[in-house]
């Protein structure tokens, strides 16, 4: 299976412009099975979502159109408003239009995200073309218990989409590799570049294997994308040879 990760410079509060940029990048990429966009790829990360949260499903419809066109899954998070409540919603859209979503559980209280958004309650794993994907958003990365690979909701690839600032990029790098090693999984991590009113972002988009090795990564501070293979046979062989997960608490 091939996966593509898009490291995007997000235009503030302009879904159509951001979709146009992403579509141009997607069009030039090597064919993949899964394409991953950053956190709040349509607007940029908004602590105050009242003016940017989508009520009409604009980004979701665009994702369904792209997924059908590419015969692939596309995923990323969007600020949405539903019944008067806001969520940081991570959509995983399949080529047939089916949408599975995860609402970010760990809201970034340091930045006030918890004051406006409703946290999700359920851990979500998506099965697509025989590969199981755990959906995670930004601050979730700091909470390993929630991401622990287990028998109830096992997974092969953890996807982290983020707006992770440059000032804390070493934490991003360290924790991503730890999640891959401790869960014997691939980690596909997509962080934005550019800046908004509050932060600067340098990227750090990468794919990490279960040994903790970075097997593909984007150049820092540059809007770009990478495509890499997920070798599921190699992952299964490693888990069988060295069954760390069998000894987990």
Residues assigned a catalytic role:
39, 104, 138
Four-residue CA torsion sign, 29, 35, 41, 45:
negative
Closest CA to 105 of 142, 76, 53: 142
Place of tokens 């992770």: 164
Cα–Cα distance between 180 and 190 in angstroms, integer? Answer: 15
Q: Which residues is 207 bridged to in the sheet?
A: 188, 216
Tell me whether strands 206-208 and 131-137 are parallel, antiparallel or unpaired.
unpaired
Residue 94 contacts residue 84 (beta carbons within 8 Å): no
* Residue 27 CB neighbour total at 10 angstroms: 10
Task: Please name which of 141, 138, 34 lies closest in space to residue 89, comparing C-alpha atoms.
Answer: 138
């Amino acid at each position: 299976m091939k996966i593509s990760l898009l490291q995007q410079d997000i235009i503030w509060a302009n879904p159509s412009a951001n979709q146009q940029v992403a579509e141009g990048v997607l069009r030039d990429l090597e064919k993949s099975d899964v394409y991953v966009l950053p956190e709040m790829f349509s607007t940029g990360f908004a602590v105050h979502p009242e003016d940017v949260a989508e009520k009409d499903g604009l980004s979701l419809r665009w994702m369904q159109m792209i997924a059908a066109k590419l015969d692939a899954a596309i995923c990323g998070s969007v600020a949405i408003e539903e019944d008067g409540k806001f969520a940081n919603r991570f959509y995983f859209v399949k080529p047939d239009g089916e949408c599975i979503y995860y609402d970010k559980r760990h809201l970034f209280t340091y930045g006030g995200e918890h004051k406006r958004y409703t946290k999700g309650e359920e851990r979500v794993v998506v099965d697509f073309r025989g590969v199981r994907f755990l959906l995670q958003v930004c601050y979730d990365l700091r909470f390993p218990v929630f991401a622990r690979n287990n028998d109830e909701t096992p997974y092969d690839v953890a996807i982290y989409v983020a707006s992770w600032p440059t000032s804390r990029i070493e934490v991003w790098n360290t924790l991503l590799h730890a999640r891959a090693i401790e869960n014997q999984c691939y980690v596909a991590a997509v962080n934005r570049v550019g800046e908004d009113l509050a932060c600067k972002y340098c990227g750090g988009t990468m794919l990490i294997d279960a040994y903790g090795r970075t097997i593909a990564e984007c150049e820092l501070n540059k809007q770009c994308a990478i495509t890499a293979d997920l070798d599921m046979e190699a992952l299964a062989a490693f888990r069988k040879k060295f069954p760390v997960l069998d000894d987990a608490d």
